[in-house]
Each structure stands twice: as C-alpha cells, then as structure tokens.
Structure 1
Amino acid sequence: MTADPEKREPQETEQADPQHETERARGLGIDETRDITAAEHELGFWEAVRKYPKATFWSMFFCIAVIMAGFDAQIITSFYALPAFQQKYGNLVGDSYEIAVPWQTGLGMGNPIGQVIGALASSYPLDLFGRRKTLAMCCVWSIAFVFVQFFATSIGMLCAGEILAGFAYGFYVVIAPTYASEICPLALRGFLTASVNLAFVIGQFIAQGCAAGVESRLDEWAYKVPFAIQWIWPVVLLAGLPFAPESPYWLVRRGRKEDARKALLKLTSSKSRPDIDNILLGIEQTDLLEREYESSTSYFDCFKGANLVRTEISIMVYLIQVIAGNPLIGYSNYFFEQAGLSSYNAFNMGVGNTALGFVGTVLSWPLMNYFMFGRRTIYNSGMVVMTVVLFVIGFLGIPTNNTGAVWALASLMDFWTFVYQMTVGPICFVIISEISATRLREKTIAIATAAQSVASIVFTVAMPFMLNSDEANWGGKAGFLFGAISFVCFIWCFFRLPESRGRTYEELDILFQRRVPARQFKKYDLLAEATSNDKL
C-alpha cells in the first residue's frame, strides 16, 4: 500500500469500466486505501472519543475564538437602548438621547464588513503559517483593537474599531471549522464541526446576559465592561496555543511528514492509540489524489471543474443561514414589546431565545451521532419546518392591534430559532467542512463566509425599512418574504445538497470528480466497487 504514483502504473493495463478508465489508469480509485477507509467507517463515536480525546479538546479550544465573533455581533446592537451608551455617543432628541440611525447601521455592519475582508484574507496566512500561528496572530490583533473600542472617544472611532476587530472575526470563523475537520476522525467530524455553531450561540448568550447585567448602570462602565470582557478570550487562546498540535493535513501539504506524525501522536490517546502510519497514509493519499485533480490552490481553483460544485454547496448552505429567515428572528424583542412587554422583560425574553438556540445546537449532536441521521436529512427537514413556520408568522402579522396574534408570532420566532439551531445552524458548519477539498478548504470556507457576511450587510440595511412603522411597516408580514426565499432554498437543497455523512475526504473527492448526482451520494458504494476491481 503506497502513495507513490509510479508504483501504481501497472493499473494502466487493467480492463476497466469506461466511466472510470481514466481514474483507474491514474490510480485514483479508492483501491489504494480501501482498508483504511473501511476502518474509518467501522470506528464508532465513543470509541473515537477514547482514541482521539485530545483532538476533541483542541477542536473545542479553537472554537473559543468563534465565541468572540458571536459576542461582539450581539453586544453592540444591545447598546442602542442602553442609557449610558446613548448619552455618550448619541444625540439629544427632545428629553432623551438617541443613537442616530446611520450610526446604528454603521455599528451593526462593522462586524460583517470586517468578516468579509478577514475571511477572504485568511487563506494566505493559513496556507503559509498554518492554523495555530495564524490564530495566535489574530488574537494579538483582537487584543489591540478591543483597546480602540474600550477607549473610543467618538462614535466614529468606535465604528472603526468594530470594523477592524471584525477583520479578526473573519479569520476565526474560517480557522475553527477548518482545524476541527482536519484533526478529527470521521466518527467525530460532525460533532466537532457542529460545535462551531454552539460557540456562536454561547457568545450571543454571554452577550445577552452581560448586557442585562449592566442595563441599570448609568456610568461609562455600563458599556466598557462588555468591551473589556472581550480581552478574556484571546488571552486564554494565547496561553493554550503553544501546546496545541498543528493540523496534520497542513503539515503533509508542506512536506513535513514527521511533524505530521508527531501531531497525530499528540491528538490521540497513548492508551488506545489508532494506527498512526495508516492515518498518515490516508492523509497523504488524499493529498496526492487532490494534486492529481488540481495542482494549484488559488481562489480561482475553487471555481474550476468539480470544485465549482463544492464551492456552490458551501456558499449556499452558509448563505441560507442569513437569507432564509434569520434577520426577521433577530427582531423578536421588537415583537415582544409590541405584545405589551416592557423593554426589560422583552430583553429577558431575548435571553431565553438564545438559550433555546443553545439547547437546539446540543440536540443536533445526538441527531447526527446517536440517531445516525445524515447531514442532508437533518438540513432538509429543518428547511421544511422553518419554511412553514415563516409563512405562519406572515399570516399572524396580518391582524392589527391583536395582542394574542403578536404573542403567537413572537413565540413562533423562538420555536423557529430552536429548529434552526438544531438543524440548519450547526449542520451548515459540518457540511462546509466536509464538502470542500482539503487543499482548498480554507479558501472555500472563506468564500462562503464572505458571501454570508455580504448578505448580513444587505439585510442589516434592509430590515429597518421593512419593519419600521414610518417605512414599509410590514411587521410579521415579512414572514411571507422570508418564507418564499426559504422555500426556494429548500428546492435547491433537495436537488443540489449531497449526503456527506460516513464519507472520508478521499471518497468525497472521487464522488465529486465523477460528478455523482447529489441524491445518489448516500447509496454510491465505492468500497464494493474497489472489491469488484480486485477480482478483475
């Protein structure tokens, strides 16, 4: 068993199925790593946890960076109704201070604008320096620009700090799923990549709780304390990163095979260690296979051949997070106030909304690992339920001055959040981590992140015009718009979203290269084909 292409040349003389003749001639079937692939398929979840305990820990450790991104995006919008923040950065309107709408828009867009730039810029340092060093550099960057936020003397300075801090957040949301997908075995891949979404939810939950805790303060610490909390995460990461192993996939691509072996030793248990040589061989074979398909690793390569389909899928599943209802759900506090709750109680209901998101994300783990549902099944089921709920929200928005309808509408928003965080939210990160080619993973995830952030910017501008009473005043009727978009997205998912559960990266490379239709991924048996080839 070898990854050397020269030693596979005799396969050129074999009789092959015409559909795969070119692959067989180049040695690009699953034959070379059939035993390794079979072992990956047979490895159970809890056995994988026992064999890869450190991989599980380090994957979750890298997710701490994503907590920062979720925290920042949530905390800045909660400041708009904070009296101390209004007095510092707002304008006197009548007897009270208000943050001007253009500045609200600017502050709200700071995080996603920074993420667009950061995500697209992330692939080059990730490719050059690796995952660990790049994350460390971003932590230093975050520490520096939290100072800008903390000591901002004007709202313009604060907005600049938001954009520059968001630059690092773009890196974080690329690094975390990339690293998790590259250090864990097949059995843990869904669990660990879905944890990226949990990190987002934890960040939002901490931000909501933090803002509730300082809501009654009238001094500058009402908004400075939340900013200061952002120093905790990068310090914790910088303290642990020197001990973190580098991605073995990145090390193999850099020609550092022995370092990759050492990284695998650090990621596995000394008491029940898997066959390191076989794992390393599987990584080398996957890299070799992708080199045969495409020798370069530029952004342009993400849009060539089979990689175009993989990029399309990654962009769409991430984009759906924004365009299929999330912007409307972000205004649940607004509808709670319409139902008659005080702003304080409406905010507490918002905390409950993020708590439901936390529970939903945790429940996605047993769906994938205990009930053994596939990614496609969970994602599409979530799309169906979310679409129906959005249309119901739209109908509930039709009655005017109906407190019961508004309560039902706001409650359905919480239910939508629960379903979203159990299906589309976490499964998105699983899919983008699995579908992208390993050599183009950071670039593919960066493109998808940038597309999602651009959509966030668009809806940040559009939502006030949809909902404000002096503009379109759609209220809950905006559910019709998002329901229609969600339905179209479900149609795309049905025809274009493949099942990646239980597939090694090498298998996925072959399936995409053969242009197997998305709905046939689940039943396409490469191992049986390899066995049949051996008998020829």
Structure 2
Amino acid sequence: MAGGPGGSGGGVDSQSLFWAIIMSAFAAFGGILFGYDTGTIGGIIVMEDWLKNFGSFDSSTGKYYIPTNDQSLVVSILSAGTFFGALLAFPMGDIVGRKWGIIASCAIFSLGVGLQLDTKWATFVIGRVGLVSCLVPMYQSECSPKSIRGLIVGLYQLAITIGALLAAIVLNSTKDHPNHSSWRIPIAVQFAWAAILSFGMFCLPESPRFLLKRGREQAARVSLGRLLTKPRDSPEVDAEYEEILAALEADRALGAGSYADCFRNTEAKNGLRTWTGILLQAWQQLTGINFICE
C-alpha cells in the first residue's frame, strides 16, 4: 500500500547502541500489553469471585460456572478487537503519526482496562479492545537502526511471551483473594504497562518518514538528528533525509493505495503477499495455541 504504515521505510542508519537499547525496551513494553492481556483472561475466568459475579449457579454441583458461549466470547473478543484495531491503525498512523498514534492507543487501551473493572458483563466484554499491536512495530521499523531492525521488531514477539509470564505471576498472587480484588488487581496492573509505554513514546521522536510524508521537513531533520545522535545539519542526517525522501517519492509514484489493492495481483504481487500472511496466521490459530495459553 503506497505510503501506508509500513511503506518501504527501512529504518535509520544509526550506530548508536544507546538508541538501539531504547527502541528494544519500548518494543518490549508494546508486546507486554498484548501478552499480559492475553494471559490474564485465562486465569480470571476461573476465579471464584469472578464466576459469582458474571456466571450462573449450578444447583447440582453447588458451584458457579460460566456458560460455554460466554466463555468463548470473553476469550475470543480480544482477537476481534485487535482485528478492527489493525484496520484503524493504518489511518491513525498516517493522520496523527506513529508516535502520537501509539500514545492515543494507550489511552484507548486504558479506557478498555477501566471498563473491565466494572461488574457488568457487557461492559467487561466491550473493554477488551486495542490498537497497540500494530502501531508499535510500525514505529520501530521506521526508527530503529538498520543493522538490528529485524532483531528489535522480533523482540516484540518475545515480549508478548514475557507479558503472559507476568500475567501468570500476578494471577497466582491474587487468585485466593475472597473478593473482587482477586480479578481486579490483575486487570488494573495493565494501567502501569500503558503508562510506561505512553511516557516512553512521549520522550521519543516522531517517525522521520511520517514527518516527511506530511511535508514537515525541518521537524523530520530534528527527529533524524535525535535518532542518529547527530546535529540536524550534519552529513549523516542529510544522507538519511535524502534516502527517506527518495523512498517516499517511489511510493507516491505508485499512486494512492487502498485496502483493496492489498488483494490485487499486481506486479508487486500484493495479493500473494497478503494471502500468504493471512493463511499463515490462520493456520497458526487453527492449532488451538491461544486456547492452550489462555
């Protein structure tokens, strides 16, 4: 998709190990949000207090339970939320920017966390939405050092697993609480992850590619200077500036893109690439791995 979130941006040619570590750290926090949220729900739906609040009483066993349909809904609704979140990430990333798009997504995520603290079923289900999973790798792919761009973006997947581990630790520490705190505390911890990611993104520069696409040349130079840890009028910044500008011009030459173009069999084989990604993800989900994790 010409000029889309991913585009042809290949990161920046930074030799700064400091910035590489910063980018890796905040990739991890983006993944922790998703991994923690995914890992939390599996433990919450079997907690006694949660079942008393949202479930039904079985007189034959003397225990509370949640119907299978409701259990499937509350577990799978996150996937639906991330599906629509991924569709919204493209326009949000191109309108408000990668950096502010992530910060706005954290605000939406926090709103969802707040809704999940309610004791009403509909409110709890609606709260399981998100946009961060798409915007964080987008930002990193455009801002991380070229030499380790793949490693930094790849660490996002590792961070998802770390998030699930943290969820298990928190769940284990609160599962025996006799009141709402048993499931509200694990959910509320997500406010901390969103706050950390938001604060970190606030301190980081905007994507130079996005700034150039919006015609903000000087701001793009300032952003590049921060990413390269060089003065904005240095030869290194000039070289990166020209390279990103050339990539944008190549994208513009292809014309405006749309979601439909992703499925068309053009010379760029967009359709093949899109269906390959869709089928790989579908086959992965068909293994049932999410139900095992959750």
TM band (smaller chain): 0.7 to 0.9
Contact 2:263 2:275 in 1 (8 A): no
1:198 to 148, 158, 169: 158
**2:42 counterpart letter in structure 1:** T
Looking at structure 2, the residues matched to 74 and 315 of structure 1 have their Cα atoms a distance apart, in angstroms, of 28
* Corresponding residue SS for 2:229: coil
Retained in 1: the 8 A contact 2:174–2:182? Answer: yes
What is the CA-CA distance between 1:225 and the residue it aligns to?
0.4
Distance change >3 Å, CA 247–CA 63, structure 1 → 2:
farther
CA separation of 1:67 and 1:314: change in aligned 2, threshold 3 A:
farther
The alpha-carbon distance between structure 1 residues 325 and 68, as it changes in their structure 2 partners (threshold 3 A), is: closer
Question: What are the within-5 Å matches in structure 2 for residues 436-475 of structure 1?
Answer: none
Counterpart of 2:44 in structure 1 is: 79
Q: CA deviation at 1:270?
A: 4.5
* Contact 2:23–2:152 (CA under 8 A) maintained in structure 1: no
Q: In structure 2, what is the Cα distance between the partners aligned to 1:90 and 1:60? A: 39
Is 1:58 matched with 2:19? no
Q: Which amino acid aligns with 2:52?
A: Q
Instruction: Tell me the equivalent position of 1:154.
Output: 120
1:55/1:184 contact within 8 Å kept: yes
Larger mean Cα displacement after TM superposition, 221-230 or 68-77: 68-77
Contact 2:39 2:168 in 1 (8 A): yes
Q: Counterpart of 1:528?
A: none
Q: Deviations over 1:371-395 (max 9, x none)?
A: xxxxxxxxxxxxxxxxxxxxxxxxx
> 134, 145, 161: which is aligned to 2:101?
134
Distance 2:188 2:92 in 1: 28
Structure 1 position 199, deviation (Å): 2.0
SS in 1 for 2:97: helix
CA deviations over 1:316-364 (Å, ceiling 9, x no partner): 34642452367434455xxxxxxxxxxxxxxxxx7xxxxxxxxxxxxxx
1:310 deviates by 4.0
Question: In 2, Cα distance between the equivalents of 1:317 and 1:300?
Answer: 15
CA distance in 2 between partners of 1:299 and 1:317 (Å) = 15
320-329 vs 125-134, greater mean Cα deviation: 320-329
Contact 2:111 2:127 in 1 (8 A): no
| 1:100 positional shift | 1.3
Gaps of 5+ in 1: 1-36, 333-349, 351-459, 461-536
**Change in CA separation of 1:282 and 1:201 when aligned onto 2, cut-off 3 Å:** same
Q: CA deviation at 1:149?
A: 0.8
Corresponding residue SS for 1:275: helix
Quote the residue 1:187 is aligned against. 147
* Closer, same or farther: CA 267–56 of 1 in aligned 2, 3 Å: farther
Identity, % of aligned positions: 23
User: Quick one: distance in 2 between partners of 1:52 and 1:280?
Assistant: 21
- The higher radius of gyration belongs to 1
User: Which residue of 246, 262, 286 corresponds with 2:247?
Assistant: 286
| Residue identity in the other structure for 1:184 | S
* SS of the residue 2:64 aligns to: strand
1:58/1:244 contact within 8 Å kept: no
Q: 5+ unaligned residues in a row in structure 2: which ranges?
A: 1-9
Q: Is the 8 A contact 2:230 2:236 kept in 1?
A: no
The equivalent residue for 1:172 is 132
The aligned counterpart of 2:34 is: 69
Q: How far is the alpha carbon of 1:264 from its aligned partner?
A: 1.1
1:483-514 deviation digits (Å, cap 9, x = unpaired): xxxxxxxxxxxxxxxxxxxxxxxxxxxxxxxx
Amino acid at match of 2:47: L
CA RMSD in angstroms comes to 2.7
Matches within 5 A, 1:223-242: 223-242=183-202
Cα distance change, pair 51–252 in 1 and its aligned pair in 2 (3 A) = same
Normalising by structure 1, report the TM-score.
Answer: 0.48
Q: 1:301 to 1:55 in 2, by over 3 A?
A: farther
1:53 touches 1:269 (CA, 8 Å); kept in 2? no
Query: Structure 1 pair 153/103, CA: closer, same or farther in 2 (3 Å)?
Result: same
Query: How many residues were matched structurally?
Result: 279
User: Which amino acid counterpart does residue 83 of structure 1 have in structure 2?
Assistant: E
1:244 aligned to which of 195, 204, 209? 204
Is 1:222 paired with 2:222? no
Contact 2:263 / 2:271 at 8 angstroms: preserved in 1? yes
The superposition leaves residues 71-103 of structure 1 with CA deviations (integer Å, 9 ceiling, x where unpaired) of 112211222222221222111112111111111
**What is aligned with 1:105?**
72
Contact map agreement 1:103 1:155 (CA 8 A) in 2: no
- Match for residue 275 of structure 1 among 218, 226, 236: 236
The counterpart of 1:320, out of the listed 266, 280, 286, is 280
The 1:219–1:78 alpha-carbon spacing in structure 2 relative to 1, beyond 3 Å, is: same
Q: Match of 1:70, as an amino acid?
A: G
Partner deviation per Cα, 1:417-447 (whole Å, 9 max, x = no partner)? xxxxxxxxxxxxxxxxxxxxxxxxxxxxxxx
- For residue 143 of structure 1, report the CA deviation from its aligned partner: 2.0
Separation in 2, partners of 1:310, 1:56: 33
